[in-house]
Amino acid sequence: MKQNLLSIQYLRFFAAACVVIFHLREPHVWLYDPWAAFDLGRAGVSLFFMISGFIMYQAARFEAPIEFLKRRVIRIVPLYWLMSGVYMALAVLNHSVTLNPEFGAHIAKSLLFIPHYNLRDPSLIAPFLIPGWSLDYEMFFYALFALGLWLKRLELSLCLILGALVLMGVIWPPKNAIMSVYENPILLEFLLGMGLGLLHKSHNLKAFWPLLPIGLLVDLVAGFSVQGAQIGEAIAVLSGAMILIGALGLEQSGRVMDNKALALLGNASFSLYLSHQLAISLVAHGLEHVHLQGVAQFILLIIGGLSLSLIMAVGVYLGIEKPLTRWAKGLVFHHK
């Protein structure tokens, strides 16, 4: 971003941490899990999508379409492909997958961001690396954003295209995985993020900073009380929007302090998103050999899972993502 917003950097980490908390609920059936019936952390992915729309509008609305696509591919693809390879290698070593043409097609669609039903869990529309399901939405949004840049009618074209797709999904329910993604109302969260970017650009949001703690409270209460996917998703969008607006207002009022640790964790948010399931799995398998049950086991899982997820994410970011992205930029933009 041309304007470095600390609040956005910190929220990237918060959103990724919400996803980690969401996945800490029940990593293995034999673990004691008092959170199993709750949806803590649901706002994480919604906030990710809104932040993505916000950042794209703030930083990329004047870019050339091809340059925009190159930068987004460099940002997403190398680490995602590498981490997919790591998880695939582990699955092969654990004999949890069968190497056959069907598995090969699953991997190819996963790496190319083609929405499809997961081979190991056919109830999910997700790639092999399951957290990558959100990247299918991200990449589709980037493609539409580039189209809007090319048409030189960014806001209008995205509103019309996404609105028409969602409306089609309501009138004619999708019958395959691709249209289930491309007609999903979740895509409107990117549009909401763009709208908040426009609002931030043109209005003073200082008075709205109380929405930050209110949004956090709404998400927490909803996580412990709201049941049902549709209602939960709506509340996640509402709380995510309040958190984002409140954080922007807090920064405009000069109350957001520069914290190097939080900034680093914000930079490592993508690494955290892709690697945390491995960290949680390692902690869970470790607990399998510790003679603890009930609350003590649960506390160790939360502390160990969060701690190892953060440590692994920072390590992946500094040791892999950052140099890999630098290499990819040099390869693609070597002429500059």
Cβ atoms of 193 and 53 within 8 Å: the answer is yes
Amino acid code (one letter) for 49? F
Q: Is residue 336 part of a domain?
A: no
In three-state secondary structure terms, 319 is: helix
Q: How far apart are CA 27 and CA 320, in angstroms?
A: 26
**Residues 99-108, mean pLDDT to the nearest whole number:** 93
pLDDT of residue 40: 66
- Token code pair at residue 188: 């409107």
Q: Is residue 1 part of a domain?
A: no
pLDDT of residue 1: 42
Is pLDDT at 336 greater than 60 in this prediction? no
Domain count of the fold of the chain: 1
Residue with the bigger pLDDT between 30 and 6: it is 6
- Comparing CA positions, the residue from 15, 109, 100 lying closest to residue 54 is 15
Cβ atoms of 300 and 31 within 8 Å: the answer is no
Is pLDDT at 302 greater than 60 in this prediction? yes
Q: Is residue 245 part of a domain?
A: yes
Name residues whose C-beta falls within 8 Å of residue 138's C-beta, 6 or more positions apart in sequence: 49, 52, 76
Q: How far apart are CA 181 and CA 251, in angstroms?
A: 34
Neighbours of 169 (CB within 10 A): 18
Q: Is residue 252 part of a domain?
A: yes
Lowest mean pLDDT among 23-27, 46-50, 59-63, 72-76: 23-27
Q: Is residue 334 part of a domain?
A: no
pTM over 0.75: yes
Q: Is residue 65 part of a domain?
A: yes
Q: How far apart are CA 79 and CA 209, in angstroms?
A: 35
Is pLDDT at 105 greater than 60 in this prediction? yes
Q: Is residue 235 part of a domain?
A: yes
Q: How far apart are CA 69 and CA 77, in angstroms?
A: 11
Whole-Å CA distances, 229 to 38, 232, 235, 272: 11, 5, 10, 25
- Partners of 125 in the beta sheet? 117
Is pLDDT at 188 greater than 50 in this prediction? yes
Cβ atoms of 313 and 276 within 8 Å: the answer is yes
Q: How far apart are CA 238 and CA 210, in angstroms?
A: 14
Q: Is residue 313 part of a domain?
A: yes
- Token code pair at residue 4: 């470095």
Print the domain residue range for 203. 6-329
- Residue 61 has φ and ψ, to the nearest 5°, of -70, -10
29 φψ region: left (φ > 0), alpha (ψ -120 to 50), beta (else): alpha
What percent of the chain has a predicted confidence (pLDDT) above 90? 67
Amino acid code (one letter) for 209? W
pLDDT of residue 211: 94
Q: How far apart are CA 160 and CA 120, in angstroms?
A: 36
Q: How far apart are CA 249 and CA 234, in angstroms?
A: 23
In this prediction, residue 133 has a pLDDT band, given cuts at 50, 70 and 90, of very high
Winning range, highest mean pLDDT, from 20-29, 197-206, 314-323: 314-323
